[in-house]
Amino acid sequence: MKILVCISNVPDTTSKINFSEGDTKFDTNGVQFVINPNDEFGLTRAMWFKEKQGATVHIATVGGPNVEPTMRKALAIGADEAFRINAEPTDGFYVAQQLAEIVKNGGYDLVIGGKESIDYNGGMVPGILASLTNMNFINSCISLEIDGNNVSAVREIDGGKETLSSSLPIVIGGQKGLVAESDLRIPNMRGIMMARKKNLGILEPVDGLNATEDKKFDKPAAKGQVKLADNVDQLIDLLHKEAKVI
């Protein structure tokens, strides 16, 4: 089985987010980038298929040279080969078009991506990718088993879970639950050394359509001032007269 895991390079959730150029551009200064958590669950599941079923695992990312440390981390975790499409991931449809070229030319049986990235939360790439490659698609996947050509998956739906059966080839939109958080992997020294020798291919983008454009970003409203009560009587008084909740 040949697997492609689509990786997104996203800001660490602990990073302080700012915007520049009149709040029209994301300011990357001082921001630490990581593998998108939803993608990391998918990568870990792909590694299970590699170890248990002998699968080959490739990763692909759309981005500039700045994403390569994140890709090297994925290689250190155990992926066999990586491809970086040399373009800025400015639009979900454009990203899906670029990834589709790799899928079409790579002969992949299984494509795993996160159901959404934690930066823009577009949630569109896996579905569009499945459509462009004419592959089956299961989104919000929290369990995945493959036996030969048969796929068994569980996905999260409003108010419960849904068990599905399908066949390869297929695109999976994974999320937390696809593997246990305790199973997520941290690269060890041997993996880091081996990653340096693995192929990280750089591909030029194909002509694609940017269907959307970011116009402006707005931060959430600042939290109001906090008052501290020195005793219970003062707390009750504040809750009654100012907060008016009692």
* pLDDT tens profile 98-107: 999 999 999 9
Length of the chain: 246
Is the model's pLDDT at 120 over the cut of 90?
no
φ, ψ at 48 (rounded to 5°): -65, -45
C-alpha to C-alpha distance for 240 and 246, rounded to whole angstroms: 5
Q: Is residue 189 assigned to a domain?
A: yes
pLDDT at 121: 87
Sign of CA dihedral 113, 125, 123, 11: positive
- Can you list the pairs that 69-72 forms with residues at least 24 positions away whose Cβ atoms lie under 8 Å? 69/33, 70/7, 70/9, 70/33, 70/34, 70/35, 71/7, 71/200, 72/192, 72/195, 72/196, 72/200
The model's confidence at residue 84, banded by pLDDT at 50, 70 and 90, is very high
Number of folded domains in the chain?
1
Domain membership of residue 225 (yes or no) is no
129-161 confidence digits (pLDDT tens)? 999 999 999 999 999 999 999 999 999 999 999
Distances (CA, A) of 230 to 82, 117, 196, 236, 246: 58, 43, 58, 11, 19
The verdict on residue 173 lying in a domain is yes
Asked if the model's pLDDT at residue 110 lies above 90, the reply is yes
Give me the half-sphere count of Cα atoms (radius 13 Å) on the Cβ side of residue 196: 5
CATH code, 113: 3.40.50.620
- The residue written with tokens 């981005």 in the block is 63
- pLDDT at 243 exceeding the cut of 90: no
Q: Which residues constitute the domain of residue 9?
A: 2-217
- Model confidence at 170, pLDDT cuts 50, 70, 90, reads very high
pTM listed for this prediction: 0.88
Within-domain flag for 143: yes
**What is the average pLDDT across 52-64?**
97
Residue 96 or 242, more confident: 96
Q: What does the pLDDT read at residue 65?
A: 96
Does residue 134 lie within any of the structural domains?
A: yes
Q: Is residue 210 part of a domain?
A: yes
Strand partners, 11: 33
Average pLDDT over residues 17-37: 90
Check whether 202 has a pLDDT greater than 90: yes
Going by pLDDT thresholds of 50, 70 and 90, the confidence category of residue 229 is confident
- Domain membership of residue 245 (yes or no) is no
In single-letter form, the type of residue at position 207 comes to D
Across the chain, what does the average pLDDT equal? 93
Q: What average pLDDT score do residues 62-83 get?
A: 96
pLDDT for 214: 86
Q: Classify residue 241: in a domain, yes or no.
A: no
